Structure 1
Amino acid sequence: MTADRPSIGALITGKAFMAEVGAYFPLSMALRGDAFEAVFMMRESDLGHRTSGPYSPERLPSDAMNWAQLRTGMGMAGHFPSFRIEAGGHWPRIHVALSGTAVRGLIVMPEEVTAEAVNAPYLGKWQDQVSSDIRIGLDHLAGWLSSCQHEAGGPQPSIDLDLVYRPFDYEASLARYEQRLRELIPPVRPVLELRWRSATPAQRRAFVKNLKGARKSGSRSDRRWNYPLGGIEVEVPR
């Protein structure tokens, strides 16, 4: 893969992959040109009987293996997935690759995940809402990239994209909601950080037209647009 491979197809496939692999909470996500990788937290209820290490040829992680076997041979985001079970630690890990693409995923068990890993004070039901918001954000980005290329012409743009979770004053945010709803409100702000690999100036201008009402942020040497999109934020260089 070269540095400037178009990103639109990878975004579309990656977003569908995130939904079809299980709509799990993404701990991280990175797009580099046309290479998409994400790390997910397994939903415990999807595994049935649980196992834990140490594992051996006589004692395999049957929960992770059964999960993968149920999905072997089934299409996922328009491609066939392959699975590899990593069983060298106390909890198994599931590696997923989509054939014919550079889309990859790693699914880790919930016991491996800490709130600190996503800069949050706690984990909980808010994670399900965030997963949906991120997929919607990726869908918008793919559409904006496609439309800016259609409007401005030139080759398809190529980007880097990272999902990060930023702390913020979540207690003030929670105060606006009824008690019964507060567990659904994320205590962190998911941000999709976009950086251009290759795009013409006209394409960049066309893309920014979608960010009406975005606020300016960053320093003089690192100027950015920050655009709220549902429950997440998109950050783009100015």
Structure 2
Amino acid sequence: MCGRFALTSTPDAVQSLLAVTDFEPFPPRYNIAPTQPILMAMSGPTRAPGSNLPARQTMLVRWGLIPSWAKNPADLSLLFNARSETAAEKASFRTAMRHRRTLVPANGFYEWRRVGSKKAEPYWIRPKHGGLIAFGGLMESWSEPGGTEMDTGAILTTEANEDLRGIHHRMPVVIQPEDFERWLDCLNQEPRHVADLLKPAQPDFFEAVPVSDRVNKVANVGPDLQERVERREEARSAPKPRDDGGQLDLF
């Protein structure tokens, strides 16, 4: 799953990765949580200058997808993750999967490992090569009864790779730069054409850094959240992965 993540690279780095032009600067964010605004990139309605490809546009959306058909969002669970294996068939996600696939820039994400029945230990999970990555995302617009439109989104998840399975059994889908064009091309690429991209990251792509439980509180937003803390890992055995779907709970 992906219940918290961070975007701390410079706006120039994000702009370079996503190849976007309509971009507003932003401060580093170390503890992005569901219901907060997140940055997404998707194919726009116009062509890129000097190219036959659609220009990419960015937008801020509410993290927590609301299907367009929803009458009252309060009646729905908070859909901040979408299982990639079933997104093309699920009523909540299938329209977005067909027409509004996005990229979500990030420097990494947080995950919690269960220890016993109550305690959960947080980890900062980042690419070993450092820098920026892009999660696969979905965007949906929802109209309030008064007519105001709100853009909302979810991050796609898949099975955890062997490096992260001992922490949690799900992880966000990572779209590689060479696949950006195909992933975002909702005009020519149906969900079945991009299903091969919805896979776990390669082994050794990520590293998991044990961090303080200060990240548990949304109000804590400083860079200290990513500092390593020491734990006696050798005294513990990895817990069995939970099979709860991983998309409706935070931990």
Q: Over alpha carbons, which structure has the higher Rg?
A: 1
Query: Would you tell me which structure has more helix in proportion to its own residues?
Result: 1
- Which protein, 1 or 2, shows the higher relative CO under an 8 Å CA cutoff with sep ≥ 6? 2
Tell me, yes or no, whether TM beats 0.5: no
